[in-house]
Chains A and B, each alone.
Chain A
Amino acid sequence: MQGSNSKAFPASARAALDDAVLQSALHNLKSGFPVRRAEVVADLPEFEALRDAGRDIKDHTLANLDAYLELYEERVTASGGQVHWARTAAEACDIVMRICNDAGARTVTKGKSMVAEEIGLNERLDASGIRRVETDLGEYIVQLRGETPSHIIVPAVHVTRQEIGATFREAHDGLDPDRSLDDPRAITDEARERLRADFFAAEVGITGANFLIAESGSSVIVTNEGNGDLTQTLARVHVVVASIEKLVPTAEDAMAILRLLARSATGQEASVYTTVSTGPRRPGDPDGPEAYHVVLVDNGRSALIGTGFQDMLRCIRCAACMNHCPVYGAVGGHAYGWVYPGPMGAVLTPSLIGIDHSSHLPNASTFCGRCEQVCPMRIPLTRMMRNYRAVAHERGLGSRRARLALTLWVLVASRPVLYRWAARAGAAALRVLAFGRGRLRRLPLAAGWTATRDLPTPEAGGTFMSRYRRGQQR
């Protein structure tokens, strides 16, 4: 599956924990977004009710997705645009490549698009010899470094500004090699200057979409940098790559969800640019693309409808779940091994590439439930991770040790007499090991757990069952 390395999660996670640079970057993330999100949410008393509305809008759309897609297509066509349907990642890439070739594209600018990453469009473009220019600053940094994004809204969250400075110095020739690139301002200015010419040179501009609106056949992008708008305004041909679940019926539906999106993502009340685009340049328009294409990508999504994982299709890619996740916060995005990290990735990756390729991901959770508390679309992320754990176990996908432990556990836990005896024996053993101190510094076979904390030992006085029975007799 499309460059997936999700199977290596345990090893990648261990390496990430030892990476001091990554750890400091992740610390910034945890202290930044969650605080700002909490502030703007507190400023909008309607936020909780909007979460219900957002969930209901998406559920209604998904229950009628076939009909809304047809209406959407009809209206895109009426506005002079063209809709292309792609069942798979490969099919979607074929369509985009055909459009690029027909347009005689030599330079293609790209706005940030997670679905483009998902379908492997970057590799396809690069292999074709077309010059691909990522225009989102984070994506641009990641492209120059030959990496992939490690976060869905801040792709270069794992890179320090010193590293970015070094990357720019190497990539941008013709500039004073001794120039200062120490502060974010200088880096930003240099990127702005560099990309300017590309926006004007590109024959094709590719963007994603945060929403598609059935009512008008429009695509909506939400950005802060303005790169997406330059991409789609200045290129001769605008290609929107969007997955089918981005659809909502009306502009009002999109606006309700927009109130959730920026607040949940970056803690802004509104992102700087929300742009609704409908078709190509009109007669009399002084600018804008001459052609407008939408590539509708299924790639496994329709198969989720009607299953226990349908709720995942409500996701608006705000990243709140990963910004609040202790596991993401500890290991970062690359450890997850595929396009989508964090709790949403732990559910979406098995849904799209199969649990066989990603059986570790549903385990990348402490089940603390913070992701669900903040998910603006009320997606039951922990329930779905639990379901995937069960599926993985049924298919015999876990590690042999974990499977053996679970089998033993079932053996004991499903036999009450044996269980009570084992609990009594275990509690007594722990007390003996602790020499009556009440806590254990180290526990055989559980060094990983006790490395960072002590284990409190059970109090004297018996197990719950023995106390319960004593209480009943009284």
Chain B
Amino acid sequence: MSTARAEILAGIRKALRRGPLAAAEQAALEDRIRRHDRHIIPERVNRSTGELVELFLAKAGEVATTLEEVDDNAGVAGAIAGYLARENLPARLVAAPAVREFGVDWDTVPTLEVRTGSANRDDGVAVTVGMAGIAETGTLLLVSGADTPTSLNFVPPHGIVLLRRGDIVGSWEDGWDLVRRSPLPRVVNFVTGPSRTGDIEQKIQIGVHGPVRLHVILVG
């Protein structure tokens, strides 16, 4: 063990006027971690599932995320193609492997050029899948994994996220409970709107290094 480590820990103990924690105290800390109790959850998320969807839409809109709703998987490919057309974008995109869970049939839009994988420097549009939508702040919960490359969330200037209506939850903690169901992924991104900066005379500019536009397609 490095001397720096030993010295820092010894320094903290000296400052706290005690030695290493006794076994019972150590167990209490580990128990606190195991319980991972919540603190105060904002009252605003105490509402019915339907109202949570309303709140999510409203809050996401406030942070400049654009939204559209489709009834079922069958509508997804068309919605994507429609978005590209509306935004005057080339009919080309990179998609997360997870998009197949939405049964998207790219053949229904033959003009669309689709690559599956992580993002390259020149990709203009990414389509990925959100694990949850958090109503509290209109936030998307995106996790890394073999089927959901993290680079898709940040590199292309246009980000499209597919989200199931049933995956909208209330608080950040509710979202984290979903993450806790499986081993913790390498990256968990909470994304609240397209990237922004106030670094130039504090005038807010939407679209800096991350996506310039963020579009959510709510399915179901």
Which of B137, B146, B191, B203 interacts with A273 by CB under 8 Å? B191
CB under 8 Å from chain B, chain A span 238-275? 244, 249-253, 255-256, 258-259, 266, 268-275
Residues 25-63 of A, flagged 1 when their CB comes within 8 A of B and 0 if not, give: 100110011000000000011100110010001000001
Query: CA of A69 to CA of B6 in the docked complex: distance in angstroms?
Result: 12
Question: For residue A32, which residues in chain B have a CB less than 8 angstroms away from its CB?
Answer: 198, 202
CB under 8 Å from chain A, chain B span 11-39? 11-13, 15-17, 20-21, 25-26, 29-30, 32-33, 36-39
Q: Are A141 and B199 in contact (CB under 8 A)?
A: yes
Question: For residue A285, which residues in chain B have a CB less than 8 angstroms away from its CB?
Answer: 144-146, 149, 186
Which of A70, A86, A227 interacts with B208 by CB under 8 Å? A227
- With contacts A230-B154, A275-B189, A285-B145 known, is A252 near B37, CB below 8 A? yes
Q: Give, as a whole number of angstroms, the nearest-CB distance from A23 to chain B.
A: 14
- With contacts A67-B21, A86-B4, A229-B189 known, is A273 near B121, CB below 8 A? no
From A188-196, A388-396, A463-471, the one touching the partner chain is: A188-196
Q: Are A225 and B209 in contact (CB under 8 A)?
A: yes
CB under 8 Å from chain A, chain B span 148-166? 149-151, 153-155
Q: Are A279 and B186 in contact (CB under 8 A)?
A: yes
Q: Are B4 and A287 in contact (CB under 8 A)?
A: no
Query: CA of A162 to CA of B9 in the docked complex: distance in angstroms?
Result: 49
Query: CA of A305 to CA of B197 in the docked complex: distance in angstroms?
Result: 36
Q: Are B198 and A154 in contact (CB under 8 A)?
A: yes
Q: Are B201 and A28 in contact (CB under 8 A)?
A: yes
Q: Give, as a whole number of angstroms, the nearest-CB distance from A246 to chain B.
A: 14
Best-surrounded residue of A87, A273, A288 (most CB of chain B within 10 A):
A273
Is A187 interfacial (CB 8 A cutoff)? yes
Which of B2, B59, B149 interacts with A269 by CB under 8 Å? B59
From A214-222, A397-405, A439-447, the one touching the partner chain is: A214-222
- With contacts A226-B211, A298-B11, A305-B16 known, is A288 near B43, CB below 8 A? no
Query: B28 — nearest CB in chain A belongs to which residue?
Result: A64
Is A137 interfacial (CB 8 A cutoff)? yes
Question: For residue A273, which residues in chain B have a CB less than 8 angstroms away from its CB?
Answer: 189-192, 195, 210
Query: B19 — nearest CB in chain A belongs to which residue?
Result: A66
Query: CA of A277 to CA of B2 in the docked complex: distance in angstroms?
Result: 25
Q: Are A71 and B30 in contact (CB under 8 A)?
A: yes
Which of A85, A258, A284 interacts with B4 by CB under 8 Å? A85
Q: Are B151 and A234 in contact (CB under 8 A)?
A: yes
Which of A57, A135, A249, A286 interacts with B33 by CB under 8 Å? A249
Query: CA of A188 to CA of B197 in the docked complex: distance in angstroms?
Result: 9
Q: Are A270 and B40 in contact (CB under 8 A)?
A: no
Q: Give, as a whole number of angstroms, the nearest-CB distance from B159 to chain A.
A: 10
Q: Are B42 and A197 in contact (CB under 8 A)?
A: no
Is B75 interfacial (CB 8 A cutoff)? no
Number of residues on chain B facing chain A (CB within 8 A): 73
Which of B12, B30, B33, B154 interacts with A65 by CB under 8 Å? B12
Q: Give, as a whole number of angstroms, the nearest-CB distance from B117 to chain A.
A: 6
Q: Are B187 and A275 in contact (CB under 8 A)?
A: yes
Is B92 interfacial (CB 8 A cutoff)? no
Query: B175 — nearest CB in chain A belongs to which residue?
Result: A255
Best-surrounded residue of A155, A157, A255 (most CB of chain B within 10 A):
A255
Q: Give, as a whole number of angstroms, the nearest-CB distance from B195 to chain A.
A: 4
Query: CA of A79 to CA of B40 in the docked complex: distance in angstroms?
Result: 30
Is A103 interfacial (CB 8 A cutoff)? no
- With contacts A255-B173, A255-B176 known, is A25 near B8, CB below 8 A? no
Is A161 interfacial (CB 8 A cutoff)? yes
Q: Give, as a whole number of angstroms, the nearest-CB distance from A374 to chain B.
A: 18
Residues 66-106 of A, flagged 1 when their CB comes within 8 A of B and 0 if not, give: 11111100000001000011110001000000000000000
Question: For residue B17, which residues in chain A have a CB less than 8 angstroms away from its CB?
Answer: 306
Number of residues on chain A facing chain B (CB within 8 A): 101
Q: Are B150 and A287 in contact (CB under 8 A)?
A: yes
Which of A63, A157, A272 interacts with B196 by CB under 8 Å? A272
Q: Are A227 and B199 in contact (CB under 8 A)?
A: no
Q: Are A271 and B11 in contact (CB under 8 A)?
A: no
Is A233 interfacial (CB 8 A cutoff)? yes
Which of A53, A135, A296, A306 interacts with B39 by CB under 8 Å? A53
Which of B121, B173, B192, B197 interacts with A137 by CB under 8 Å? B197
Q: Give, as a whole number of angstroms, the nearest-CB distance from A88 to chain B.
A: 9
Q: Give, as a whole number of angstroms, the nearest-CB distance from B126 to chain A.
A: 12
Query: A215 — nearest CB in chain B belongs to which residue?
Result: B33
Q: Give, as a whole number of angstroms, the nearest-CB distance from A163 to chain B.
A: 10
Q: Are B150 and A288 in contact (CB under 8 A)?
A: yes
Query: CA of A249 to CA of B193 in the docked complex: distance in angstroms?
Result: 28
Q: Are A271 and B192 in contact (CB under 8 A)?
A: yes
Q: Are A154 and B210 in contact (CB under 8 A)?
A: no
Q: Give, as a whole number of angstroms, the nearest-CB distance from A186 to chain B.
A: 10
Question: For residue A274, which residues in chain B have a CB less than 8 angstroms away from its CB?
Answer: 189-190, 192
Query: CA of A191 to CA of B137 in the docked complex: distance in angstroms?
Result: 29
Query: A266 — nearest CB in chain B belongs to which residue?
Result: B198
Query: CA of A90 to CA of B201 in the docked complex: distance in angstroms?
Result: 35
Q: Are B149 and A253 in contact (CB under 8 A)?
A: no
- Give 24 pairs: A residue, B residue, CB < 8 Å, sorted on A: A29-B202, A33-B202, A45-B42, A46-B43, A50-B39, A65-B16, A85-B5, A87-B4, A161-B200, A188-B200, A188-B207, A195-B209, A225-B199, A226-B209, A229-B150, A229-B210, A233-B154, A252-B176, A270-B192, A272-B191, A273-B189, A278-B184, A278-B187, A286-B118
Residue ranges of B at the interface with A (Cβ–Cβ < 8 Å): 2, 4-5, 7-9, 11-13, 15-17, 20-21, 25-26, 29-30, 32-33, 36-40, 42-43, 59, 63, 117-119, 121, 137, 139, 144-146, 149-151, 153-155, 172-173, 176, 184-203, 205, 207-211
Known: A85-B8, A244-B8, A304-B15. 15 other contacts (CB 8 A): A32-B202, A50-B39, A64-B29, A69-B9, A137-B200, A137-B209, A188-B197, A224-B196, A225-B209, A226-B195, A229-B153, A249-B32, A252-B176, A255-B173, A284-B146
